[in-house]
């Protein structure tokens, strides 16, 4: 039998030992570039974004330059990503917002970030944790799926429910790296359709794996 508290403690300890360095796979040189890349990465692979962004950053090196362009111009650089029309519109709106309201700089609070076109809570939390090293848990599809599957969350129905439960149980100082642990684990091991359970280093504490093998676990803290 394993409690949720034990599950968290053991899984965190395993990642600390086996994945001491975990970072975003998006390529960027500054906060503006990271924000552009994260906006583009919604429902798209980091690999694709890293192909698209170099010429995009060369054409629009600053928010000010992008703000003076058009949706059509931006679209030409990002048309191979998912939802390019909507993302081009959001990038233009983002650039104008940064230029007119934030002196061309990416703000570092949740409320200010969420006021920017194309920036929802997940993107805002990514910026807080990755760009500004603040304790924040961004919940994307990987984090949402993995957290529910392995039993870190109790069948949460929304990303916000997942975020709140993870924040409750993971120490503040580990939230940012834990976000990357869960993303990378979901991307390469705990995949959506065919999770590599037998090769998984945390399977002995995983609710899904234990249940599959007829072992019951206690989900209360």
Catalytic position from the list 87, 97, 122, 207: 122
Which position has the token pair 């599950």?
Answer: 7
Active site residue 140: yes
Whether 206 has a binding-site annotation, put simply, is yes
SS (H, E, C) the chain: CCCHHHHHHHHHHHHHHHCCCCCCCCCCCCHHHHHHHHHHHCCCCHHHHHHHHHHHHHHCCCHHHHHCCCHHHHHHHHCCCCCHHHHHHHHHHHHHHHHHHCCCCCCCCHHHHHCCCCCCHHHHHHHHHHHCCCCCCCCCHHHHHHHHHHCCCCCCCCHHHHHHHHHHHCCHHHHHHHHHHHHHHHHHCCCCCCCCHHHCCCHHHCHHHHHHCCCCCCCCC
Whether 190 has a binding-site annotation, put simply, is yes
219 with 151: CB under 8 angstroms?
yes
Whether 197 has a binding-site annotation, put simply, is yes
Active site residue 220: no
Catalytic position from the list 4, 87, 97, 140: 140
- The binding site for [4Fe-4S] cluster consists of 190, 197, 200, 206
Active site residues: 122, 140
- The binding site consists of 190, 197, 200, 206
């Amino acid at each position: 039998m394993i409690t949720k508290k034990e599950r968290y403690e053991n899984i965190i300890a395993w990642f600390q030992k086996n994945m001491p360095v975990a970072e975003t796979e998006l390529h960027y040189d500054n906060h503006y570039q990271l924000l552009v890349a994260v906006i583009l990465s919604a429902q798209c692979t980091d690999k694709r974004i890293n192909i698209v962004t170099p010429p995009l950053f060369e054409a629009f090196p600053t928010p000010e330059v992008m703000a003076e362009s058009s949706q059509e111009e931006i679209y030409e650089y990002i048309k191979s990503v998912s939802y390019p029309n909507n993302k081009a519109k959001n990038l233009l709106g983002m650039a104008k917002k940064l230029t007119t309201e934030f002196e061309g700089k990416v703000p570092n609070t949740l409320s200010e970030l969420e006021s920017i076109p194309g920036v929802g809570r997940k993107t805002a939390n990514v910026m807080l944790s990755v760009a500004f090293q603040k304790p924040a848990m961004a919940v994307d599809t990987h984090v949402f799926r993995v957290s529910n599957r392995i039993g870190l969350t109790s069948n949460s129905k929304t990303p916000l429910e997942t975020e709140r439960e993870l924040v409750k149980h993971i120490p503040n100082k580990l939230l940012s790296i834990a976000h990357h642990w869960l993303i990378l684990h979901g991307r390469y091991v705990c995949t959506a359709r065919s999770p590599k359970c037998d090769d998984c280093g945390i399977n002995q504490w995983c609710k899904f794996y234990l249940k599959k093998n007829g072992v019951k676990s206690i989900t209360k803290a």
